[in-house]
Amino acid sequence: MAIHKLAEGPITLTVARVEAQVGNFGPQFAFYGVDDELVYVSEKSTLGQLGRLNLTPESVVGHSIRVEQVKKDGKTFTNIYKVGAGDVAAPSVAAPVAAPVAKLTLPELAGIYSDCVSFAMATLGAKCEAAEIPFTASDLAAAAATLFIRGTR
């Protein structure tokens, strides 16, 4: 069984089993593929990335996943994507070029931002109030801006 090193590039595999282990760099998970693949991922990255996909180390068995490392700001991150029928694959390096989008007018942008503020208040604001966590208008503005930026790209 060959061990795939993520530094050499991404790997896509159908998970046959996952084992928790302690390696040279601390707690990690060994992902064994049905085609005799093996890749190790740190415990922190595994739990965070699988949680984002609403999966656990137990429930990922049988799913096809893509595991890759990316470098950003001098740090290395491990990403896990679920791939297969009906799933969204990892972003490809050569993504297709999208058709140009018409520029939005200022009133259209203001309407979108207003919706983003409403959603930020209904989600972040309401949840913070329910949990009795203090928050400020700046917190809501940041949440609204995040939604606005994501929604207008």
Instruction: Give pLDDT, residue 1.
Output: 75
Say which residue the tokens 């490392």 belong to.
Answer: 69
Distance of CA 113 to the CA centre of its chain: 24
Residue at 96 is within a domain: no
Residue at 138 is within a domain: yes
Instruction: Give pLDDT, residue 101.
Output: 56
**Tokens coding 126:** 């309401």
Instruction: Give pLDDT, residue 93.
Output: 47
Instruction: Give pLDDT, residue 94.
Output: 46
Asked if residue 72 and residue 6 are part of one domain, the reply reads: yes
Mean pLDDT by groups of 10 residues along the chain of 153 residues = 88 94 91 93 94 93 94 92 63 49 82 90 88 91 88 77
Residue at 56 is within a domain: yes
pTM of the predicted structure, to 2 decimals: 0.55
Q: Which of 27, 48, 83 is the last residue of a domain?
A: 83
Asked if residue 52 and residue 21 are part of one domain, the reply reads: yes
Instruction: Give pLDDT, residue 100.
Output: 58
Asked if residue 67 and residue 27 are part of one domain, the reply reads: yes
Residue at 95 is within a domain: no
| Rounded Cα distance, 25 and 22, in Å | 8
Structural domain span for residue 141: 106-152
Distance of CA 130 to the CA centre of its chain: 27
Asked if residue 71 and residue 127 are part of one domain, the reply reads: no
Asked if residue 79 and residue 18 are part of one domain, the reply reads: yes
Strands 2-4 and 64-72: unpaired
* Residue 93 identity (one-letter amino acid): V
* Residue 18 identity (one-letter amino acid): V
Q: Which of 83, 115, 143 is the last residue of a domain?
A: 83
**Helix 106-120 and helix 137-152, axial crossing angle in degrees, nearest 10:** 130
What phi and psi, each to the nearest 5 degrees, are found at residue 7?
A: -65, -20
Residue at 28 is within a domain: yes
- Total of domains in the chain: 2
